Amino acid sequence: MTPRLEGKVALVTGAGRGIGRAIALKLASEGARLVLNDLDAEPVDELVAEVRAAGGQALACAGSVTAPDFAERFIGTAVAGFQGIDILINNAGYTWDNVIQKMSDEQWYAMVDCHLTAPFRILRAAQPVISRLSKADREAGRRVVRKVVNISSVAGVFGNAGQSNYSAAKAGVMGLTQTLAKEWGRLNVTVNCVAFGLIHTRLTDSEAGASSARIEGRDIRLGVNPDLLAMMEKTIPLGRGGTPEEAAGAVYLLCTPESDYISGQTLMCTGGLTGI
């Protein structure tokens, strides 16, 4: 059986770990050629090597998605390496929480810049390339449907205490998705969003404050209080948090030909959770 995404060029930000890594491996298993980003070069280089060892094709584009020149470099890597763009996944992100009266401007803008401004810049940089490819397809009599999948969160849908910055940015992602679905429909591009609930990654599975990650020159504390995590899982109808592979499956659904007439939508991947 021919892989579902044979020959497609897929770009994934935040692909070195967690959900992003699972998305990349899923797309690669279905034949996509990958352009992979992560903040740190080591995990993304390891992933590129793993994909190539399995017979796939992949290129690395390490660096911060918030860097002013990142979007052009990311899109340029896809064009130079694979001469196109078929699938674009805006996944990179992290959380930096505080109640609003204690939240600094730095915390606010860090979340907005990573989760909303970075996808905006990437999509802006991709537009001329996608427009040119779409025109060439029409002139050649080809029907090619391209895919954008932006990543949001239940925090963007319902809000979440201590996450005014993250929630606002993730709500903005849904607005950006709906707008681009209207702008890019004429280019035969579907633009959708996946809002994740509790997914078990390094951001959630360590005990609160027990570990940290160096992000944008800042030491960001990781983890969730175990009692809070247990309480969260009890509110999920399926009774547990999701795995990165299950999260990747939701993204993959919106990359398949079966989703060619779905656009401007937010798919909730929450195990049945309908509020927080």
- Alpha-carbon dihedral sign for residues 138, 140, 141, 145: negative
The question of whether 109 is a catalytic residue gets the answer: no
Closest to 113 (Cα-Cα) out of 94, 98, 130:
94
What CA–CA distance (Å, rounded) separates 20 from 199? 12
What CA–CA distance (Å, rounded) separates 141 from 35? 27
Within 8 A by CB and 6+ apart from 175, the residues are none
Max CA-CA distance within the chain? Answer: 59
User: Of the residues 94, 166, 252, 261, which is catalytic?
Assistant: 166
Parallel, antiparallel or unpaired: strands 218-222 and 211-215: antiparallel
Active site residues: 166
